[in-house]
Structure 1
């Protein structure tokens, strides 16, 4: 399966998580990793599963490198009806109602362009004792089973 990990990050955690997930998958899949500001959603293809991983900062905003991607979705409204994706959010529950809002914002943007979401949005809480990869890897394995079905 072709998998393209796309990250939005402030401190580098989302990028490191993508690297870790790619390493955990080994050679079982053809994987690549890109920052969200390096891709154009209108160029996504149906043969790839897109895994979006996004942090949240401030009062629920997207990281700066994810904002141009969202702006393109909202401005151009590309037809992503043949695109399959899953999304994983990084946040801190202590921020209350804006917890993991960055990933929710991207999710809303992708769905508005008719992209097909695989599975539920995964979320890591930085205020927990869990490492992001400890939550994300089982989530990703479930996503891959659902994508293959």
Structure 2
């Protein structure tokens, strides 16, 4: 079965809870999953990861949360090629911030595409103004992602 690395960008803890729910679902299907709220290029490169699943909130003016920002910057500066490794992005945001809604997820997705990662399904955006159960929305998307990526 597959090994999945899950870097998480969280502000209030919701993205971490979503990541933990996704990791549990992956494990139920026989996969290994590691949730990492202090993601690093070292962790990305040290594990023999079959896929990467980024779960991130958006903060400020479309910014990546401070705990995930160093990972994003390192992806840009060190440019670790992904060589077709499957990845997915789950982004949480608030659509009342129209111009920056889920921008952190868009940034992460663009970075992995630039690094030659393979996105078998488009990122999912979860709107805090439309759902009270972001983990359920993420798990619905995760089913398709698992079928396509793993």
TM-score greater than 0.5 by the shorter chain = yes
1:89 matched to 2:91? The reply is yes
Q: Deviations over 1:67-114 (max 9, x none)?
A: 111111111122112422111100001000100001111111111111
Partner of 2:10: 9
Partner of 2:19: 18
Partner of 1:99: 101
The alignment's TM-score, normalised by the length of structure 2, stands at 0.89
Q: In structure 2, list runs of 5 or more residues that go unmatched.
A: none
The alignment's TM-score, normalised by the length of structure 1, stands at 0.89
Q: In structure 1, list runs of 5 or more residues that go unmatched.
A: none
Counterparts of 1:15 and 1:143, CA distance in 2: 19
Q: CA deviation at 1:129?
A: 3.1
Counterparts of 2:75 and 2:144, CA distance in 1: 27
Partner of 2:41: 40
Q: CA deviation at 1:130?
A: 3.9
Corresponding pairs, count: 147
- Check whether the contact 1:46–1:84 (CA below 8 A) recurs between aligned residues: no
Q: Deviations over 1:8-64 (max 9, x none)?
A: 1111111111111222342621121112x3321661667521110010011111100
The 10-residue stretch of structure 1 (132-141 or 39-48) with the greater mean CA deviation from structure 2: 39-48
Residue 74 (structure 1) aligned to one of 73, 76, 83: 76
Counterparts of 1:16 and 1:10, CA distance in 2: 11
Q: CA RMSD in A?
A: 1.8
